[in-house]
Each structure stands twice: as C-alpha cells, then as structure tokens.
Amino acid sequence: MASPTDEQRTTLAAKVQDGQYYVLSSVERDNPWPEPRDGLTTGEDNWVAVLTGTAWGPVTLNLESLTGRPDNIESGWDMVVERDIVTERGGLAITSTYGDGPPGGLRLRPGRGRLRIHVRDRFTAMSGGNLEEPVETHLIQVWPTDGPEPPAVLVGPDEAAPQISPS
C-alpha cells in the first residue's frame, strides 16, 4: 500500500481538445476508439483517453507516480475510475488529441500498471464552451501491478458520465 504525499504530486494544465486528453505508453492502436463503458475513459492496454467536460481548453491535472496501490480514495471527487495500462519501455506521456501536451508525465516501470483517474466539476465544464481557464480538476495516480484487473468505477458516476457514454 502507498500513501501519496504532496512531494509526489505534480500539477500542470493539460490541454483538452475535442473533449479528451490521453495517457500513452505508445501511439500504436488496434482499435482507434473502443466504446466508452464507464463514462470517463476509453482505450486499450497501451493508451487511455480521459473524457472531459471541457470541450476545448485547459483542465487542472495532478499526477502521482506511486510504488503501490493507495490506501484510500481521496474524498471530494465526483467520479473515480481504475483501469490497467501496459508500457514496454516504462513511463507514460500525457498528450492532447492532436499530439501535443504538457512536459512531464508519469513514472512507471516497464510492465503493467494501474491508473486511478479522479475527476471533479466535469458537468460544470460542459456548459463552458471553449475555456481559457480550467474549470475541472483531475488527479491521475499510477502504480505497478503484477496481473491484469478489470476496469472499475470506484466513485460515481458523475452527472457528465451518462451524457458521454449512455447505457
């Protein structure tokens, strides 16, 4: 188990285009757009698209690279989802839809990792149009794992999820 500290957290402005940004270990894709099932993410083993309420503009993105699964889920988030990601070379990049992104990313040893994606204020951001200042906030935590786990919704869904992937 791991307990995140402020020293481990990096905060940046992620550029959102077309209502999404990506966490990537590589750019290869077998399926360019798997159907979103949890209302927050879609992807494959080597990439995850995070679906935002912001159509165009920045979101506040907090990143944490951990040594193990966090002991608790932080309170105050509207929705929290977990899913696996695999990296052959280690490390994960954060990019926009059209390939550019903020400097930095997430540290992860080569192999399988688990992403925990937290979001707040997606629904509020949906009514904002093209935003110049962040309205929504995200936290992405990653840690190494040994075996695959199914995707899971830990908190939520939020008010935006049914509009993004109606069931």
Query: Does 4 fall in a domain?
Result: no
Closest CA to 163 of 127, 118, 120: 127
Residue 131 contacts by C-beta under 8 Å, 6 or more apart in sequence?
Answer: 54, 55, 56, 57, 58, 125
Query: What is the helix (H) or strand (E) element at residue 161, kind and residue range?
Result: helix 161-164
- What distance in Å separates the CA atoms of residue 130 and residue 57, rounded to the nearest whole number? 6
Range of the domain at 159: 11-164
Span 36-61, pLDDT tens digits: 989 999 999 999 999 999 999 999 99
Query: Does 112 fall in a domain?
Result: yes
How far, rounded to the nearest angstrom, does the alpha carbon of residue 2 sit from its chain's CA centroid? Answer: 19
CATH number for the domain spanning 15: value is: 2.60.34.30
Query: Does 57 fall in a domain?
Result: yes
Span 3-39, pLDDT tens digits: 444 447 899 999 999 999 999 988 777 878 888 989 9
Query: Does 2 fall in a domain?
Result: no
| pTM of the predicted model as reported, rounded to 2 decimal places | 0.91
| pLDDT at res. 28 | 79
The count of domains in the chain is 1
Query: Does 120 fall in a domain?
Result: yes
- What distance in Å separates the CA atoms of residue 42 and residue 32, rounded to the nearest whole number? 10
